[in-house]
């Protein structure tokens, strides 16, 4: 195909990644640990873990998994914890033992947890004690699960800090519900036992499974995207190539407020900056803005990633101006992903920090990064950027044929970072790939003549009003242009006259905002069929743990309200 985007690449950025790259994440980790042994790898609550210590602890955990639990290459192990020092130790130790990691959202209900563990066939799980009660409720329903390892938040912090943290979390803040998991190991004991055993060498190739990364699909049931070692190593190398030498090996500090169980943070923060020998500053609860701002103020950071909602909240947080002043001259790259970046947020960030907030695009099935803004970009465009090196992007119609430039169609991807398929779901795998190997993303977008990709909306969220297609993201963007609007969510609801109509939910930035003002605003920016038929002002919008608006919940609420109105 004609890769028109290559002509728009920054000077010095390779079109293809090198074929001479590590065969596995295990090799990547061991190389970095040897090369940067004395450098800090992770920082959490002021405590640093060096690459040498990471090598030792992950080796001990891998040896425990092999020798004490009897786990072998290819077995699946779930990891259920927020950002803390134990998370990378457990994940990297499992990879060194040849296991495949199943990332689990700690906010899952018992039912959601049981489904994922059963589907993955997880033989073991490492869980933060705060969420052990959820595991207790789910365990009886999970036949494959044989081993449980429990840890407390302060377990890898030095004494007495670790003891104080564990006591405060459990006894003062009451963040640990009562739980009982007979036979569970404690992580500290596991590391001690592993330290007395040998980590047996496991031959791991690029095609071996590294992660089962669960993602929602067209059916609504989570599916495990099979990400191989080769997929993830390729995406790390693609990301580093795209950065074009702007970051230096062994010199960078990145702030990781996004949860490492999410695929964006997994690759963009954990694996890429591990490869660079960077210091990764872990934030356990980014919703605690006071603590986050204090951490930022005490850290000279050169990189930070996040989602739109996080950056928006940070920009409104007291003390953020002092952070920008303290960090002046240090920041090299700031990236927003996981959801659409709002122009107002991007422009406010650039004005305060003097560095453009770059936008990227990806999905779990692509490890995840597909496109990104040029590292030297100086102006927000609202577009997703250009396909990364060794990545192909096509905009296809419903028959799988390319559409003309600047015409909406489904964003489709090919490249070495694309998953091998869905776990135990051959029919779903066949449905998501075209006959010539394109991954159908389910996202509607367009490509311009320079090769820049623009997001339009999720295919499943498109609203059809009297035969015309209305895109929720476009309507939301138009509504957010109103100075008194803080946030907006749009869904389609059944309509007896037009098939569907637009329902708008708005979070005001100021209490003076009225429905009438919004209708007038929309009338000046949206054609008739795109204008909201119903508008509701509310204090907040339902969101995922990453900050994405839960449109399905909004749609259910809108339909219930309509039914109640009709019944009255």
For 4, which DSSP code?
G
Q: Which residues lie across from 228 on neighbouring strands?
A: 209
Residues 82-140 pLDDT 10s? 999 999 999 999 999 999 999 999 999 999 999 999 999 999 999 999 999 999 999 99
CB 49 within 8 A of CB 56: no
CB 54 within 8 A of CB 88: yes
Residues 323-332 pLDDT 10s? 999 999 999 9
Q: Classify residue 211 by burial, with Cβ atoms within 10 Å: 0-12, 13-18, 19+.
A: buried
Counting residues of the chain whose pLDDT is more than 70, the rounded percentage is 98
Confidence bin at 263 (pLDDT 50/70/90): very high
* Number of neighbours of residue 140 by Cβ within 10 angstroms: 10
**217 pLDDT exceeds 50?**
no
Tell me how far apart the alpha carbons of residues 421 and 159 are, in angstroms, rounded to a whole number: 45
Closest CA to 30 of 19, 41, 15: 41
Residues 490-508: what's their mean pLDDT? 93
**237 pLDDT exceeds 90?**
yes
Q: Where are the alpha helices (DSSP H) in 46-131?
A: 51-67, 86-96, 110-120
Q: How far apart are the first and last CA of the chain?
A: 58
pTM: 0.90
pLDDT given for residue 338 in this prediction: 85
**Alpha carbon 517 to its chain's center:** 35
Which residue has tokens 């905002």?
513
**Average of per-residue pLDDT values in the chain:** 95
Residues 316-339: what's their mean pLDDT? 96
Angle between helix 308-316 and 343-353 (nearest 10) = 50
Tell me how far apart the alpha carbons of residues 471 and 463 are, in angstroms, rounded to a whole number: 6
């Amino acid at each position: 195909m004609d890769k028109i985007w290559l002509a728009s690449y920054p000077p010095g950025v390779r079109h293809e990644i090198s074929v001479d790259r590590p065969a596995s994440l295990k090799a990547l980790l061991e190389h970095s640990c040897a090369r940067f042994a004395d450098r800090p790898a992770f920082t959490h609550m002021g405590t640093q873990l060096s690459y040498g210590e990471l090598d030792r602890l992950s080796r001990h955990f891998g040896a425990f998994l092999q020798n004490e639990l009897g786990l072998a290459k290819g077995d699946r192990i779930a990891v259920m914890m927020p950002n803390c020092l134990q998370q990378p130790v457990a994940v990297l130790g499992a990879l060194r033992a040849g296991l495949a990691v199943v990332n689990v959202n700690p906010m899952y209900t018992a039912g959601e947890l049981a489904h994922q563990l059963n589907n993955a066939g997880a033989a073991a799980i490492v869980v933060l004690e705060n969420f052990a009660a959820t595991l207790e409720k789910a365990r009886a329903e999970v036949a494959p699960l044989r081993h449980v390892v429990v840890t407390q938040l302060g377990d890898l912090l030095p004494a007495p800090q670790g003891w104080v943290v564990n006591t405060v979390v459990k006894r003062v803040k009451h963040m640990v519900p009562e739980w009982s998991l007979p036979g569970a190991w404690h992580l500290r004991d596991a590391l001690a036992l592993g330290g007395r055993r040998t980590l047996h060498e496991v031959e791991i190739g690029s095609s071996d499974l590294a992660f089962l990364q669960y993602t929602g699909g067209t059916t609504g049931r989570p599916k495990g995207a099979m990400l191989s070692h080769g997929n993830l190593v390729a995406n790390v190398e693609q990301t580093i190539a795209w950065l074009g030498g702007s970051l230096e090996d062994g010199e960078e500090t990145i702030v990781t407020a996004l949860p490492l169980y999410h695929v964006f943070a997994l690759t963009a923060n954990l694996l890429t900056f591990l490869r660079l020998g960077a210091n990764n500053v872990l934030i356990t609860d980014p919703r605690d803005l006071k603590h986050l701002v204090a951490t930022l103020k005490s850290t000279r950071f050169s990189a930070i990633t996040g989602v739109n909602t996080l950056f928006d909240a940070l920009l409104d947080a007291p003390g953020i101006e002092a952070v920008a002043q303290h960090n002046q001259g240090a920041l090299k790259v700031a990236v927003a992903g996981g959801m659409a970046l709002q122009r107002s947020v991007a422009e406010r960030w650039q004005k305060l920090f003097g560095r453009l907030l770059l936008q990227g695009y990806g999905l779990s099935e692509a490890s995840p990064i597909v496109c990104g803004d040029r590292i030297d970009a100086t102006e927000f465009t609202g577009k997703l950027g250009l396909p990364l090196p060794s990545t192909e992007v096509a905009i296809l119609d419903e028959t799988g044929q390319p559409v003309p430039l600047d015409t909406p169609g489904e964003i489709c991807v090919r490249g070495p970072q694309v998953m091998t398929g869905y776990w135990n779901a051959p029919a779903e795998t066949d449905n998501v790939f075209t006959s010539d190997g394109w991954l159908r993303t389910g996202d509607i977008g367009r490509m311009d003549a320079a090769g820049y990709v623009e997001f339009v909306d999720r295919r499943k969220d498109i609203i059809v009003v009297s035969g015309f297609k209305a895109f929720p993201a476009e309507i939301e963007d138009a509504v957010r242009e109103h100075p008194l609007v803080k946030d907006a969510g749009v869904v389609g609801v059944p309509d007896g006259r037009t098939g569907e109509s637009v329902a708008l939910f708005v979070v005001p930035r100021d209490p003076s905002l009225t429905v009438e003002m919004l209708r007038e605003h929309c009338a000046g920016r949206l054609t008739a069929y795109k204008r909201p038929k119903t508008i509701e002002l509310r204090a907040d919008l339902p969101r995922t743990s990453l900050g994405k608006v839960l449109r399905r919940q909004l749609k259910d609420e809108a339909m219930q309200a309509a039914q109640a109105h009709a019944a009255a």
